[in-house]
Each structure stands twice: as C-alpha cells, then as structure tokens.
Chains A and B, each alone.
Chain A
Amino acid sequence: MKIGILMLGLAQALRLLRLTNTAFRERFAEKNLVVQLKVLDCGTARSITFRDGRVSSRAGIHPAPDVVLSFKNARVAAKLMSLKPDHRFNIDAMKNFTVDLDGPDELTVWFAETISMVKALGWRYGTRLKGGITRYTGNTNGGPVFVYVKDGRIVRITPIEFDAEDGETWNIRARGKSFSPPRMATVSPHTLASKSLVYSKERLLHPMKRVDFDPKGERNPQNRGISGYERISWDEAAEIIAEEIRRVKRTYGPGALAFSHSAHQSWGNVNYHLSSGFRFFNLVGFTKVHSNPSSWEGWYWGATHHWGHTMRLGNGEVFGQVEDCLQNSEMIVFWSSDPEACNGVYAGFEGTVRRQWAKDLGMTFVHIDPYHNETAAWLGGKWIAPRPGTDPALAQAICHVWITEGLYDKWYVENRTTGFDEWADHIMGRSDGVPKTPEWAEGETEVPARDIRALAREWGKKKTYLGAGAFGNGFGGACRTATGAQWARMMVILMAMQGYGRPGVNMGNLQSGAPIDFNFWFPGYAEGGISGDLQFTADGPITYQRIPHIMTMNNVRQQIPRINFPEAITEGHATGYPTDVAAINSQFVPYRYPSPGHSPVRMMYKFGASQFGTMNNSNRWIRAYQSPNLEFVVNQSIWNEGEVKFADLILPACTTFERWDIGEWGSGGGYAPQYYTQNNHRVVVLQHKCIEPLGESKSDYQIYVEIAKKLGLSALFTEGMTELDWCRRIWEGSDLAQHISWKKLLKRGYFVVPTEKEHLRVETAYRWYYEGRRKTVPELQPLPADYTEKFLEGLQPQSGKFEFVPESLKKAGDPDRPPVNVYIPSWEGSKSHDLLAKYPLQLLSAHPRYSFHSQADGKDGIINDIEWHRREIGGYRYLICYVNPADAAARGIRTDDVIRLHNDRGEVLFAAFVTERVRRGVIRTYESSALYEPIGLPGRSPDRGGCVNLLTNHRSQIRGGSSMAPNACLVEMEPWREPVATVPVAAELAEV
C-alpha cells in the first residue's frame, strides 16, 4: 500500500512541476514516453506518461511502456525511490537483481536525468555580485580560482583570497621569528591564462571526421596528419565509434581497442580519465597503454631499491619538513631542483613564500644544475654546473671527501643502514682501483675539484636539506636522463650518509611537508573517482567504502608500454616493465605485447593530444598513426593541436569551466599521495559549471554517455547520475559533509580545511626511523607484507634498513643497475665520442615554466605573449631555446635567430636566446610543446612548433625497465636561413 502512494507521489510531483516550473515544462516537451513502475512481489504498479509536454499517470500495468523499472519487492522499491538515496543499498540491489531497468538508453537516461532535476530543485550556486556579475569557483592544474561571469561569458579568473569564514592558517616559529603564509591560494602562470584558452580560436567546437576516412570504404590511414576534416553530428560520431568498437570486437576479439590518455587533464574527480574514462573503458574492454613513471623515472627504478617508497614511486616522505628545515637546518642544496619553475606540478607558488623565509633566516643555498635555473636566479647562492648526466660522479666524490675526512653520520650508518663497507670500498677505490676523488669527478663533470671539496665539507659540517628534483625528494630533471636511476640512488645514498631524519637533516627544498591536517579525507584524482577500477587506481582501498559505486573491471589482459606504442603498432610487438607500486621487486617482471590469446590493437581511442610534445623520438608516433595497422583513430580533445590532426574522428571536449566537477587542489592520491602537503591550505572546490559548453563541445563524462547509449551501457555507466549528482555523492562520502552542508558548498564553491592544531602536527619525516621507533607518520605504505621484522617497523627494503647495496638489485641482474651504484657514463652524453663528433651539444628539455605540459602552450592563448616562453620572429612564435655564448658565437648564432636543432631522429626550429645561464656545450629548452607544425610532410620535415621530443632518444635508461631519458640527447644546431612556409602542409580544420 505504502509503495503505491510513493509512486503516486512521484507522478503528482512531476505534474505539479509542469505547472509551476518553466525548466520542467521545457524538459517534458522534449520526449514522448511511458514509464512503467512495478513491484513484482505484490504487483503494485503505476505508469507515468509524458506526451506532448503533459504528464499523466495511472495505476496498474500499461500495455506498451517504453521504459520499465521493476523492483523485486516493496522494501527495495521504497529504498530506491527515496529522495535520500542509499547508494550502497542501490548497488547491492542491482547486484542481486532485485531491481531492473529496461528500455532504450535514450529514454532511460532522459528519465533518470529528469528525476535528478527533481532532486536538485532549489539548488543555487555562485555568489551574486554588483553589475550583473556572478562569481563561481573552479579548479585548475595550477590552483583553485574564482570565475567572474557576466551574461554567460567569463570576465576574469582570479586566485581565491580567503575570508573570515575560511579555515584558519598555520604558524611556524623558527629562530626567534614567526612565519605564516598568506591567506589565499596562489596560482601558477598557466592558470591565469585560462580565460584566453576557453575562448581560444583553436577550440574544437564540433565533432569532425577526416574527409577521406570512410568507415565503410577507403580509410586512407596514410593521409592522417595531411587531410582535412568535415563536420558531423554528435549522433553520427557516436554511432561511428560504437560501430567501430563492435566491429573490432566482432572481427578481432579482446584487445583490439586501445585507450591511451595523456599524463594530465583538466581538474576534477568526476571527469578525470582515471575516473569516468576508466569507468567507460572498463565497460567496453581495452588494451591499456601503460604509462612509465615519466616524471619520477630514476626514483622508481633506482632509489626504491635503497629506501623503498614504491607507493610514492621512489619519492620520500612528505611530513613536517617545512617546520624542521626552518627551525634546524643551515643549508639547502638544490640538486637538479627548480621549484620556482615547476610549481610542484599543481601547487601554484605555495612553496615560494617558505623559501623566502629561509632566505630571510640567512640560510645558505647551493644550486647544482647545468642551467642557472629560476630558483638559483631568484634565491641566489653558489651555482655548480656539471656536464649533463655526470651528476652521479659528482655525488660519489662528495662521498669520498666525507669518508676521507670523517664528515658523515657514523652512528646512523652503523645502526640504520646495511652495506656501507662495500659502498665505501667502491668510493675509496679499494674494489676497482679508482678512488672517486674530487679530481676524478672533475674529469667527468668539469666541476672544479676545489668546488666539490668545498661543497662536501660545508655539507658535512652544516645541517643540510637536500632538495633533489622539483619536490625536493624526487621528480623531474636529472632523474630523466640515461644516468637518472644512478643519480636518484646517489641522492638517497648521500642523505643516508648524513642520517636523514636527524633534526635539520632531510630530503626537501621546502616544497613539501607543510603542517596541515593529514586526517581530513577527500579523495585525490588517482583514487578512482567514479571509475570503480580496482587494477590501476586506488579506488578499492581508498574510496569505495566511503563513496560506494559500481565496481568495474577490464576484461583485457594486454598492455602496451607507452614509450614503445609506435613499435607495437608498426612492428606488432613490444616488451615493457610495469609501473607497479605494490612492491620493490614487481618492477622486474616484464610484460609482452601482444598478450597470449589477445588481438593486436586495431583501434585507438586517444584522450588528449600531447604525445608528440612529451614522448621521446616522437616522429615514431607519426609513423604509427599513418600505419594501416591502426584501422580507426578517435581523438577526444579540447583544442585542435598535436595529435588531434592525426585522428579519423575528433570529439570536442569542453574545458573544466563548462562542466560540473569536484576536486581538492593539488591532490593526486594514488602513487602521488599527500601532494596537498605542498599547499599552505587544503582547499576543496566544487567546480561550478560557470558557463555553457562552447559550440557543441561536451564534458568528457557526457561524451562517454553518448557512446554508452549506443552500446546499451548508459544505465551502468551513469547509475542514473548526472555529473552534479556524482559531485554530491563525493561530497557526501568525504569528510566535507561533516564540515559544510551541500547547499552551502554548492553556493560558496570551496572549502578551506582548518589547519591542524599545533600539538597534533605530524612529526618530521623519518624522525621515527632515525630514533628507531614504530612508524608514526600517516602513510598506508609499504604493504604490510613488505615489512620484514614487525608491521610498522623499519623500511621497505629486504633488510628493513636503508641498503647501500640493495638486496633487490643483487637478485635482478640488470647490467645497467649493478648493486653497487658504480658510475656508468650516459649512453648518449659526455662519453659518446663518435656521436659527439657529429652532434656535439647536449640538449636539456625541462618541464615548461609557464605552460603546463601541453596545456596553455600554443592555442593562441596569452602564455604565447611571454617572451621567455615563445619569441615572435617573422610573425611566428617559436619556442625559446637557451644557448651558451661560446657555442652561439662558434655557429654565428645571435639572440632571436631562428635556429635548427637536428640529429638523426629529427629537426626542430627554435628561437635562440644567448645567455651565460647555460653552461658551454649545453642547450636548454622546454619539452611539452602543444604545437606540431611541420613545414612540409609530417614526419619528414622540420617542425617549427617546438616539439623537442622529435629529437630525443626513446631508449630506456636501463635495459631492465621502461624508463624514459629525454635529457640524454645529442644534437647540433645551426642558424635557419631558409624561409618558412606560412601555411604548413599539416591538416587545417576545414568545415565542409
């Protein structure tokens, strides 16, 4: 009886809404359908009819319903129809077949969205300001923002300044001073360019099909990157894709469809590729293009064996270093570490103010980098410029001085480490007859031996933080070269000799380890979002029990190592080593493509367009794209750039400002845990849909819905949820719900997590280890099974201690990673004599300072106007390339000459900037160009867009790993005298 009333109530509510609410009146006019609700057990039933904008209902069974929603019994029906859904119950009901939905996807999705509209009645969002402006909130890869909108158009995008309502800010007292960060969220440069990118003329606004691609006839794969495009409808696009998915499954079987995503995306836990992307592709089955740990390389393949941390990909703990460094440390050595240019990936300029404090406290700074980097220029201090790739030799000489002069922590070495004697034998030359003296290292590095000795002595006497890589405990730079694993190993070896965990002695450069609240739970983007993916996200252990949703599983046991994707396509096979965070030894286990019993890839679904700019030797990608082995290529992107122009079908995605989402600033999660410790405040943002999607572009979630409808998967994919419903579910399941109501969050748009009370702050990283206590820092790693003695005692390596000569490498037998970390010169570097005769310059390509990977580069945005990013010469904006004055003079190159960099792999044009800031024999530019603009045929002519990775070697750092080394690259340069064609041959979008 009660359930009958509920059904009637729903129908009556819909009728009432038609009379009182314009939005519902318009909604009901969209479709004609009959929805049948019925309870199988007791037979209670009611049909609701939508016809010509009117709503009617009648008890009982309708003779010809379009959609049938049936419940096993009244209890299930009552719970599922409740206005306060219990998602755990709902999923359980689906699993046990006590609820069923039948009907065409187009209508079931429409009905579910209509019910969502009912639930969302009365929801208001945004803050009304004067002059017809509404202020919304957004979240970007460079920080959270306010978005000011007037008449449906973005006026401005600004950082968020906190007010009295927002959570309080921490304070650190150090050496008689008191430090507190500004009460705002700083943002990276590219974030401030966001508006110019939303309205970029390079936006993709309609689905497009390559003009000479016919899925039922000639496909002309050889013309990818050359032919133009014609506009098609969303329905046509979704139908072509769905049919191609069906066709490759039918024809080739599991594995024929590959999904490949770029490393980064627009922010948001719902739309992220690790969220709705994995959810959708798990539902259709796909060959995963497996990402190597691209920014971590040397840490994962090298440092993990000495100190563990596989679940951080070899980076270290991030607790309390800000306070400890300011209070106790005297010196910071920045080794291949440029935090002011790297912004901690997602962290705006949050670490900057702390380094200002360190400067105010009179700390000493040393910068080791072949380029006098932005942090060195700003903070000042000694600049040491080794030849690229020789850093491990420099580090070994520091060990030599420490051992010779007794300047290391002997107690720590004796009590907290293993294998030191064997290591010392190597350093002192007792095992190979070559003492690793500063003079020896000078021969390798060209750093004066006197400087190495002075640095080693200062370091051995002063309490020192080692900032290695952009975060200070990993990431970027020298870990991305042929000697990257050796270098990262040396960084942790140095700190083990100094006793990391001792007050004032630790890894860090003040970028990580702010004293914030570590217990407030909100999922990071790699913690699954709505994916339900158990295999490649942290959804299972971290998110599912708080935010129940349907779990999904890929049916394909086949992967392609991303670096070798082109060979997998053109040659048909590839071998890779996994990015597997579970344990130290799991990285030794190779996988092969194709997998036994699986189909080679025939269809490629590419999400994003950055790989020409970010993957090594990327002319290979062009050859792969033009291969007949790829029968169908889809690209889903926001802008028309890079690889987009090599697709058969282009799907226009909208920006983060045009869709709903939710996410915490800078929180990666997964193998990037606690990245929010870079931020001075934890900020969670309900990312408003600030404006309508431009043109016909759609959110990533909606794009998947469109395809899912064609495959009958939409109910499973959506769970009847809109993106905003998913945001609410994430709010509800996270700790946010305990602090701020949904309606308030919806309106205000962001929440600042109150800082941790001073007496509850997490202690400094590794202090527990230094003092020989049970582990007290809050991290869910390593796996319990990876503790050797007792749970929470000791480190992850076999001995439970820091291992100077790792047991894991003794068993691996990789000739490129001998257990004793001997210096093996780069395979493309200072000792490559034959190659040097032809290509005498070492090319360094750092993560870009102003753009974010390929985001915000190109696209006609305002980053292009920064002359330290791109420089306009003859009407074209070339990417900047820094050249040493002597190297420039020898080739007749001056600032703002167009220069051609080339080697056997490719040729790329740049704008030269001649500067003393780069050491002789080195040229330095930025990777991640968004533009690939060949001046002739793609793959066979110079690129003027600045895709430096056309030049880099795709050889793995080490034979026993899948490990990229873009900074091991020899080139020659010369002035470019030839005129550049004004219209590249590469495809221009032509609307037909």
Chain B
Amino acid sequence: MTKDTILKVEHLSMKFGGLMAINDFSFEARRGEITALIGPNGAGKTTVFNCITGFYKPTMGMITLARRNGKELLLERLRDFEINKVGGVARTFQNIRLFSGLTVLENLLVAQHNALMKASGYTILGLLGLPAYRKAVDLSIEKAKYWLDKADLTDRADDPAGDLPYGAQRRLEIARAMCTGPELLCLDEPAAGLNPRESAALNTLLHSIRDEGVSILLIEHDMSVVMEISDHVVVLEYGQKISDGTPDHVKNDPKVIAAYLGVEDDEVDEVIAEELEGGRH
C-alpha cells in the first residue's frame, strides 16, 4: 500500500444467489482526491459501495482502509456501524435517507452521536449536567453550524428535514455525513435529480470538503459532473473493472466508449463472448 492510498479494494467479489454482481474487482483511492466510480446501470457500483460501507458482507476479497494515524483496517471484518465509528468512513444514499421528522439541526446532532455519547459519560454523567458535557454540546452545535453554513442550510436549521427541497436534502445528507468527522466520504449518486444550479452548489460543496483533506469516493451517472470534479475515475461494467485512470484517460478509452454508447448489434455477441471468456479466467 503506497503512502497516499486511503482505500484499497482487492479481488472483491459479491454473489447474490447465483448472480455474480461483482467479479474480482480491485481499485485504489488516494488520500485527498475525489475518486469516481462510474459505469452503466446495473454495473454493480452500489453493490461495491455497500460492501465498502458495511451493508453487505462481500463473498470474497479484501477492503483495506488506511487511517491518517497510520492504522490499517480491514473493513469487511468490521460490524456495519463500526465502519463509520472506527473506520471513519461516512456515506450517503442513492435514495436520500434523512431523519425526516427531526429538524435539520437535529439531523446534524445525531451524526455526532458517538462523540457526544462519550462526552456524556454514556448518558449517566450527562444526566447530571456536568460542565464538560455542556461544553461538548456547545461544540457539537458549533460544528453543526459550520456545516449548515457550508451546505447553505442555516436558514432552514429549525425546519423538519423532510420539508426541505430535494437539492437541499442532498446537501443536508452530505453535511450530516461530514458531521461524523470522516476521513473518507462515500457519495452514492449525489447529483442525481439536481437542477443545474443545485448541481453547481454541490460541486462547490464537494470541492470544499476535499480541500479540508477528506477523501471522496463517489458513484455518479452524470458524466459531465464526473469529468468536472473528479481526480481519478474507475469504470465498472457487469461487475468488472474496464478502465481506471484520470478523467481524460477514461474519456478516451474505447472500452468505456463501447460500454456507454453501446456497440453495433453484431459486435454485441463478440463483447459477450469476451465477457464469458473473461469470466472463465
């Protein structure tokens, strides 16, 4: 593992019943970069995500995370919530998952659960209202305010999260993930369903997150977004990697063009034959 690698996925395979959703997939994401995972519908991007963030246990393979303090963790061995708590990996979801009945501010406070739990002496000391706990609460509100400001949500802080417009909900989900203090932020199609203005706001937010030294791994469909913001692109098709490199490199890779634009009918058989060949190895 090179020094600036934050996440290393090796020989990842995931099988659902008889279906091989991910087949021997390996890639690396570098610290401080925005890495994009792209691919056509059904390529297995979200499955890779769910393996990394602990929602699925991979059938095979190793997912290594290097923390800033030099510790290396095998993510597939951690329990689901430990990926965030111990591993410092935060994520968002393709179909936004906010606590819609809690206010925007409360959403951001829930995200600081582990820090606050510790400060409250696992509730017991907090019930007594010790000053150390009160200070921690003030700090958590400051942190929430910081991310509210970044995500341009300060005006809506006291509204229920479910009441926000779609674009704001996306930004809130990212802000909430950031409040857990992650080193790696995984975003599942953050730009899906956004209008151009919201999309631009999102790009600004993502860049400012990267500038704080947080690495980003994102799944995206919208090529223009990917090309604009990412430093490194990995292309996935039918559960296998077909290309890996800078946006420019990937853009010009004939395999990627074939996967995205489709190929002539007679070429399809050829491609399938190739796939089968590949699968047998």
Instruction: Say whether A associates with B.
Output: no
Chain B contact residues, CB within 8 Å of chain A: none
